[in-house]
Amino acid sequence: MKLFIDTAAIEEIREAASWGVIDGVTTNPSLVAKTGRSLEEALTDILEIVDGPISAEVVSTEADGMIEEGRRLARIHPNVVVKIPMIEEGLKAIRALADEDISVNTTLIFQPAQGLLAAKAGATYLSPFVGRLDDIGEDGMAMVHSLIDMLENYDYPAQVLVASVRNPGHVISAAEMGADVATCPMSVLRQIMKHPLTDIGLEKFLADYNKSR
Ligand code: G3P
């Protein structure tokens, strides 16, 4: 499974990339706004750090505007993936951009049939939001499971990119289900790396080593 980092914060991206396990980056307008920079400024730095798919989201809500923004973002670098929301106008834009061989990540997917529509429209990535479904008492990973099951019956090239990841359990379930990608905030990347017994074990090994010298 590919692991992306879900942030526009350059220091986090640099730190996670230094671990050697980050395959790409996802951003959204809220994450970019937190940095106080423009999307283009953030993208310039991100593209220098990570050589993989970098999702950059449009802010238009009409198909024509999304297509224009998408083309402009895609021209910045071949690694830029245009993120388009799962709305009617978005579907039109996904089809138009896919027909121009521009990679699209369909965002804000909350039920499997939305993912099927985006796959049919030619999206490269489908982003089901698991944490936000869990937040309202639904089962986000069950939705991902259903989406993966559905896609297995057909040949759409679309990849399932599990988004709105909130904890290590989401990452483990995504890998068990065979999701193509999980995109994680830095906090979850740190959580999946850490186990208290690893730290206790290392402390004991080093203490024993130092005693024996
Ligand atoms: O980037 C999209 C998604 O991962 C957002 O996550 O935590 O704001 O629901 P969250």
pLDDT band at 148 (very low <50, low <70, confident <90, very high): very high
The pLDDT > 70 percentage for the chain reads 100
Return d(Cα 84, Cα 125) in angstroms, integer. Answer: 10
- The catalytic residue positions are 83
Which three-class secondary structure string do you get for 2-60? EEEEECCCHHHHHHHHHCCCCCEEECCHHHHHHHCCCHHHHHHHHHHHCCCCEEEECCC
pLDDT band at 42 (very low <50, low <70, confident <90, very high): very high
Q: Are 96 and 122 in contact (CB under 8 A)?
A: no
> What are the tokens at 198?
């690893």
- CATH code, 171: 3.20.20.70
Ligand 1 centre to CA of 163 (Å) is: 6
What is the domain extent for residue 141?
2-212
Ligand 1 centre to CA of 103 (Å) is: 20
Q: How far is CA 19 from the centre of its chain?
A: 18
> What are the tokens at 2?
């590919």
**Tens digit of each residue's pLDDT (9 = 90 or more) over 7-36:** 999 999 999 999 999 999 999 999 999 999
Sign of CA dihedral 161, 166, 171, 177: negative
pLDDT for residue 56: 98
For a pocket test of ligand 1, which of 106, 129, 130, 143 has the largest count of ligand atoms closer than 8 A to its C-beta? Answer: 129
Q: In this structure, which residue's CA is closest to atom 4 in ligand 1?
A: 164
Number of domains within the chain: 1
> What are the tokens at 126?
């489908």
Q: Is 28 in the pocket of ligand 1 (CB under 6 A)?
A: yes
Rounded to the nearest integer, the mean pLDDT of the chain is: 98
Ligand 1 centre to CA of 151 (Å) is: 23
**Tens digit of each residue's pLDDT (9 = 90 or more) over 104-135:** 999 999 999 999 999 999 999 999 999 999 99
pTM value is: 0.96
pLDDT band at 136 (very low <50, low <70, confident <90, very high): very high
Q: Is 6 in the pocket of ligand 1 (CB under 6 A)?
A: yes
H/E stretch holding 174 reads helix 168-177
Strands of 7-165, DSSP E: 24-26, 54-57, 80-85, 104-109, 125-128, 159-162
Sign of CA dihedral 76, 77, 78, 79: negative
Spell out the alpha helix ranges (H) of 53-129.
63-76, 88-99, 112-121
Q: How far is CA 191 from the centre of its chain?
A: 17
